[in-house]
Amino acid sequence: MDTKELLKKVRKIEIKTRRLSDHVFGGEYHSTFKGRGMTFSEVRQYQFGDDVRNIDWNVTARYNEPYIKVFEEERELTMMLMVDVSASKLFGTKNSFKDEMATEIAATLAFSATQNNDKIGLILFTDQIELYIPPKKGRFHVLRIIRELLEFKPKSKQTNLDEALKFLSNVMKKKAIVFLLSDFISEDYKQTLKIVSNKHDITGIRIYDQHEETIPNLGLVQMIDEESGELMLVDTSSKQTRYALR
């Protein structure tokens, strides 16, 4: 993909996903994901109904009337986007491939975070860590993330969610909001996911195609596993086979 075409695609995704970010998410991102804690803002005179535990006794003694401390939420958060870029992303039978869906979802989330002045980072993974972009703020940083999602060519075709989650745990020492975008066709990651979710706020977004759920009856069909390269002959007329492939 040449630079002109890439920039055109980035701009197209920015326009589309910014609209989604503004109208679909609205204030939901802000209200759903809370800040790290509360910081002191100011003092004001005590009013009926205020929590007496917030009384500032030093100021109260100085002015001989009750004053309370006012706190506000620390809003700055860190969002990590973890995107599965294994070979199974190159499947699609409807309007788009799975990797295109993942890119649009990731971009929408990133622009939602930008509106709240949060940092955004990116982890692209297969059965290894393909790319890590440390969290930063700003539109240009988000556009860089979109460019990588559009253009990046992974070295491996396999998937290992367990390794990706362990990497996240190692690089993110403070609590982060994590969106894990994958088809979750992987094994032995549930225990690591449970451990990591005790520290971070993790949301899994499953990217799948309709025909991964319901295999049509087409008789004998030769299929290839994109990740392993294995060829197989599948009898799609068998109900048992169609169920097993779900």
pLDDT of 244 > 70? The answer is: no
Whether residue 99 is found in the same domain as residue 123:
yes
Q: If you average pLDDT over residues 133-154, what whole number do you get?
A: 90
pLDDT band at 154 (very low <50, low <70, confident <90, very high): very high
Residue at 132 is within a domain? yes
For the whole model, what pTM was predicted?
0.68
Closest CA to 69 of 105, 42, 32, 35: 42
Domain that holds residue 222: 214-244
- Which helix or strand (DSSP H or E) is residue 123 part of? strand 119-125
CA angle, residues 109, 110, 113, in degrees to nearest 5: 90
Has residue 7 been placed in a domain?
yes
Residues 175 and 236 in one domain: no
Statement to judge: residues 63 and 179 lie in one domain: no
**Residues 240, 154 within the same domain:** no
20-59, pLDDT tens digit by residue?
A: 666 555 555 555 555 555 556 678 888 888 888 889 999 8
Q: Are residues 118 and 158 in the same domain?
A: yes
DSSP strands (E only) in 52-118: 67-73, 78-84
Most confident of the ranges 37-51, 72-86, 189-203? 189-203
Q: Do residues 68 and 160 both lie within one domain?
A: no
Write out the two tokens for 159.
């998937």
Residue 129 lies in a domain: yes
9 occurs within a structural domain:
yes
In angstroms, the Cα distances linking 166 to 21, 128, 129, 203 are 30, 11, 10, 16
Q: Quick one: 97 and 164 in the same domain?
A: yes
DSSP helix/strand/coil, 46:
coil
Domain count of the fold of the chain: 3
pLDDT band at 116 (very low <50, low <70, confident <90, very high): confident
* Element at 140 (helix H, strand E): helix 139-151
Count other C-beta atoms under 10 Å from residue 19's C-beta. Answer: 12
69 shares its domain with 80: no
Q: Are residues 201 and 82 in the same domain?
A: yes
Alpha-carbon separation of residue 107 from 39, 157, 169, 237 (angstroms): 30, 23, 23, 39
Neighbours of 229 (CB within 10 A): 9
238 occurs within a structural domain: yes
Quote the pLDDT of residue 192. 95
CATH no. for residue 20?
A: 3.40.50.410
Looking at the domain assignment, is residue 188 inside a domain?
Answer: yes
Average pLDDT estimate for 109-124 = 88
Q: Cβ(235)–Cβ(219) under 8 Å?
A: yes
Residue 33 lies in a domain: no
Same domain for 197 and 90? yes
In a domain, 138, yes or no: yes
Shared-domain flag, residues 127 and 190:
yes
Residue 236 neighbours by CB distance under 10 Å: 16
Same domain for 167 and 83, yes or no, is: yes
Tell me, what's the pLDDT at 136? Answer: 93
